[in-house]
């Protein structure tokens, strides 16, 4: 689970000023967590 979080978060660390990228990756993270939960 931590690996999934890191993969989703790393691109935003490179583009911290790009809120759209952050929202997109946050959505990916939520999707992964939802998949793991079900």
pLDDT at 25: 85
Q: Which is higher by pLDDT, 20 or 19?
A: 20
pLDDT band at 19; cut points 50, 70, 90 = low
Band the pLDDT of 2: cuts 50, 70, 90: low
Contact 2, 33 (CB under 8 A): no
Binned at pLDDT 50, 70 and 90, residue 10 comes out as low
Neighbours of 4 (CB within 10 A): 15
- 3, 8, 11, 1: which is closest to 28 by C-alpha? 8
Average pLDDT over residues 11-28: 69
For the segment 24-33, what is each residue's pLDDT rounded down to a tens digit?
A: 888 999 999 8
């Amino acid at each position: 689970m931590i690996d999934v979080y890191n993969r989703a978060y790393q691109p935003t660390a490179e583009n911290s000023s790009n809120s759209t990228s952050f929202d997109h990756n946050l959505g990916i993270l939520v999707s992964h967590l939802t998949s793991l939960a079900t």
